[in-house]
Amino acid sequence: MAGIAIDTLSQCRYVTDITSTVDNLHWIPKSQDLSPALLRLLDIAASIRAAYDGTTPYRKIELLKQPITELSQLKGDLATSKLAKDAPLFGSITNKWLQIIQDSRKTLEEEAANSPEIPNVYLAGNALLPNDAKERFKGRQDIFREIENISLSAQPPVFLLYGRRRAGKTSALNYLPRKVGSNLIPLFVDVQNIASFTSYENIVNSLVEQITSSAFTARNLILPHANADAINQDPFAGLQQWMSLVEKKISNKRFLLCLDEFERFEEVIESTNSRTLLNFLRHVMQHRPQWILLFSGSHRLNELQPYWSDCLIGTRTLHLTYLNKSEAQELIQQPVTNFRDIYGADAVEEIVYLTNGQPYLIQLICSCIIDHLNREIRQSQIFRKATRQDVRDVVSTVFEQGEGYFVEFWQYLSERERIILRTLAQQGTVDAPDQLIINKLVQAEIIRQNNGNLEFQVPLIRSYIETLVEFRI
């Protein structure tokens, strides 16, 4: 089996040969006792493929940085005693791949330099990952400082990181290891990956796997192996045993266990019809001072099932809200360093106004503006800066491209909330509204009171609701 894989990898002459190995060799089980160099090359092939899926030459060049670094590291390891025994088989493949990719990158760089088009550097969609998104992540310094200071205090409380959809919760957790000192080890668990499991053994194994891989990503730490038999016999006892081993190995630091989308534990609680999982979390809070829990989600305590209050009582809430004006301006004008000056001052002002600093909407609107300007550049070969009118012109495209976000926002509301928002969008005021609903909409950061008047916090949301009214939805 390894023989076939090695033949395929060594026959690559062009980038397309490398990227097609991902499909051609997907049947090889990675758990097999394959040589580490082979495993690393298979992974590198996958990141090369992801890079060539990039939308523009600029984006491809950016995404190629990682596999090029990994190939260079592999080349280095093959030359030293680390992987010396793999060198005869894999040395020449690695060198050849490196050459192919570097040549292709040169061609992409020429393409990018010769193109008058503006590189579309904005990332609107998935959570930002530091290795890829780099300095595109803006703001949130106050949250990082608070997490760090409180986590290292004598008796840290449990954290609740609260932010509405696409406020940047997962991105903030992804950047945490770079933003807090080395005495704190952030460990990331995506509860979404656990929600569908119905057996505690699978849940615990997934927890151990996610914690282990995130300790490595965050701090290059290799955690001890968990005892599979113990987990099989009594999953949570096995997990506790493993946590003790981890504590023993790293006794002088604290772990910040970040449970992203923690609300989805409700699915486990429902499907197992038991609160064992909550009891486990409570036990960790009370008896394991080295572990600090951070629950991240888009619901406030009063919007959750009542059984959470036991677990989350006395939590320190960290509120992830809109970016402030200067952070928003930085995201617009300097998403990456040395970004070309493509906006007129009125355009920046309009984007800040329409989005009120909502980071996803800023990235989306800016990405649509670049597409809009590039279309013009392709037609006339002339570059001009974006104006307020350009920003207004792309709003309908923003609604199309961000459909998932807007539709989800609307579906999440109750019928009575929708009526109030529709009326406010159409008439600019609402007569004798139900105060409870208003409070809820204010709490959800959709509207605010301003001198006794109600207004939308994000004018783009108001425009979206206006389009719904137009189409009588």
Ligand X SMILES: Nc1ncnc2c1ncn2[C@@H]1O[C@H](COP(=O)(O)OP(=O)(O)OP(=O)(O)O)[C@@H](O)[C@H]1O
Nearer to ligand X, 165 or 319 (CB): 165
125 binding ligand X? (CB under 6 A): yes
Min dist CB 21 to ligand X, Å, is: 29
Nearer to ligand X, 59 or 105 (CB): 59
Residues ≥6 apart with Cβ < 8 Å to 151: 180, 184, 254, 256, 292
**Which residues are near Mg ion by CB under 5 A?**
169-170
Min dist CB 157 to Mg ion, Å, is: 22
317 close to 276: Cβ distance less than 8 angstroms: no
Q: How far apart are CA 456 and CA 260, in angstroms?
A: 28
Q: How many residues bind ligand X (CB under 6 A)?
A: 24
Binding mask 273-312 for ligand X (x = CB under 6 A): -------------------------x--------------
Stretch that binds ligand X, among 63-71, 101-109, 160-168, 348-356 (CB under 6 A): 160-168
Interacting residue with ligand X among 59, 60, 166, 440 (CB under 6 A): 166
The tokens of 370 are what? Answer: 């670049």
CA distances from 367 to 23, 123, 346, 459 (A): 31, 8, 17, 19
288 close to 257: Cβ distance less than 8 angstroms: no
- Print burial letters for 350-384: b (CB count within 10 Å at least 16), e (below 16): bbbbbbbbbbbbbbbbbbbbbbebbeeeeeeeeee
Full DSSP string of 16-38: HHHHHHHHHTTTS-TTS---HHH
143 binding ligand X? (CB under 6 A): no
Nearer to ligand X, 15 or 444 (CB): 444
Nearer to Mg ion, 261 or 390 (CB): 261
Min dist CB 125 to ligand X, Å, is: 5
Stretch that binds ligand X, among 131-139, 228-236, 380-388, 460-468 (CB under 6 A): 131-139
328 close to 355: Cβ distance less than 8 angstroms: yes
Contact set for ligand X, span 34-93 (CB under 6 A): none
Residue type, 251: S
Which residue of this chain has its Cβ atom nearest to ligand X in the complex? Answer: 168
Nearer to ligand X, 111 or 327 (CB): 327
Stretch that binds ligand X, among 58-66, 135-143, 339-347, 382-390 (CB under 6 A): 135-143
Residues ≥6 apart with Cβ < 8 Å to 314: 157, 158
Judged by the rule CB under 6 A, the positions of this chain that interact with ligand X are: 123-128, 136-140, 163, 165-171, 298, 331, 359-360, 363
